[in-house]
């Protein structure tokens, strides 16, 4: 004969079983919703799992983050550059503060195949990152530095590597429309050697903070 307490326990067990069964369905529904939310944008292929589980938290599902002005936009960035940066984060060769805190733990969990998938996905996103519409002082001065450099201070023209339209090529990143504060931050890292890159460390060693802000104002305005 079944007691009242046994009946209650059976109901609780049934409830736990139903929750366990429904949990995967709920996760699947969230993933479908995430995909549907970006349907208005042109994407290439399915969204990789690691983009959903890790990258989207900060960079947004399509690499066009709008919430954190120190986090770079990734949509339309060159695949070769994205692969190189993920490898450097993974191997501890890019040791700037945000890299150590946020990117290294994520990148260390990626296989070579996943790095390729993530880089391919963000490189294929359209529209590519664009100017925020926020205007900072120094755009004209920044354009002059970008296009011509500062000969008296041994600062070469940025366009020599990043192209006249600032869209770069291969492992030289696309900077047109990138976030103002992110560009300033990275130039400071290159200047003081926190972020290691032989070429950029040499270029940025004589650039002043006002000049960094001027270049960033120009690039973020494109």
pLDDT for 180-206, tens place per residue?
999 999 999 999 999 999 999 999 999
Residue 186 burial (C-beta neighbours within 10 Å; 0-12, 13-18, 19+): buried
Q: Tell me what pLDDT residue 144 has.
A: 98
Looking at the predicted structure, is the pLDDT value of residue 2 above 50? no
Phi and psi at residue 42, in whole multiples of 5°?
A: -80, 120
Looking at the predicted structure, is the pLDDT value of residue 53 above 80? yes
In sequence order, the β-bridge partners of residue 126 are 42
Distance CA 109, CA 209 (A): 35
For 30, residues 6+ apart whose C-beta sits below 8 A from its C-beta are none
pLDDT averaged over the chain?
Answer: 82
Q: Tell me what pLDDT residue 96 has.
A: 84
Q: Which of the four pLDDT bands, split at 50, 70 and 90, describes residue 150?
A: very high
pLDDT digits (tens, 9 = 90+) for 112-147: 999 999 999 999 998 776 666 678 889 999 999 999
Looking at the predicted structure, is the pLDDT value of residue 27 above 50? no
- Selected residue with higher pLDDT from 106 and 7: 106
Please report which helix (H) or strand (E) contains residue 216, including its range: helix 209-221
96 falls within a domain? yes
- Quick one: 216 and 160 in the same domain? yes
Domain membership of residue 101 as a residue range: 47-123
CA distances from 28 to 34, 36, 51, 52, 69 (A): 10, 12, 15, 12, 31
- Quick one: 59 and 99 in the same domain? yes
CATH of the domain at 117: 1.10.760.10
59 falls within a domain? yes
Looking at the predicted structure, is the pLDDT value of residue 19 above 70? no
End position of a domain, from candidates 123, 155, 182:
123
- Selected residue with higher pLDDT from 149 and 95: 149
DSSP letters of 100-156? IIIIHHHHTT--HHHHHHHHHHHHT-BSPP---S---TTHHHHHHHHHH-BGGGTB-
End position of a domain, from candidates 61, 94, 123:
123
Report the domain count for the chain. Answer: 2
144 falls within a domain? yes
Looking at the predicted structure, is the pLDDT value of residue 6 above 60? no
Q: Give me 129's structure tokens.
A: 């990152």
Looking at the predicted structure, is the pLDDT value of residue 165 above 70? yes
DSSP letters of 57-86? HHH-TTS---S-TTSPP-TT--HHHHHHHH
Residue range 4-24: average pLDDT? 43
Looking at the predicted structure, is the pLDDT value of residue 44 above 70? no
């Amino acid at each position: 004969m079944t007691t009242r307490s046994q009946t209650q326990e059976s109901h609780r067990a049934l409830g736990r079983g139903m929750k366990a069964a429904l949990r995967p369905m709920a996760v699947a529904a969230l993933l479908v919703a995430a995909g549907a939310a970006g349907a208005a944008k042109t994407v290439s292929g399915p969204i990789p799992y690691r983009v959903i589980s890790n990258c989207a938290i900060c960079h947004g599902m399509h690499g066009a983050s709008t919430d954190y002005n120190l986090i770079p936009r990734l949509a339309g960035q060159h695949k070769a550059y994205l692969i190189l940066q993920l490898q450097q984060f993974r191997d501890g060769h890019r040791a700037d503060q945000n890299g150590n805190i946020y990117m290294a733990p994520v990148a260390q969990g990626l296989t070579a195949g996943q790095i390729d998938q993530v880089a391919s996905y963000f490189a294929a996103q359209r529209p590519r990152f664009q100017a925020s519409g926020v205007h900072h002082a120094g755009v004209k001065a920044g354009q002059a530095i970008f296009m011509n450099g500062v000969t008296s201070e041994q600062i070469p023209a940025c366009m020599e590597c990043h192209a006249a339209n600032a869209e770069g090529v291969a492992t030289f990143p696309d900077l047109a429309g990138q976030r103002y504060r992110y560009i300033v931050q990275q130039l400071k890292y290159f200047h003081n050697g926190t972020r290691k890159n032989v070429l950029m460390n040499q270029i940025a060693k004589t650039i002043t903070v006002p000049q960094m802000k001027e270049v960033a104002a120009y690039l973020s305005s494109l």
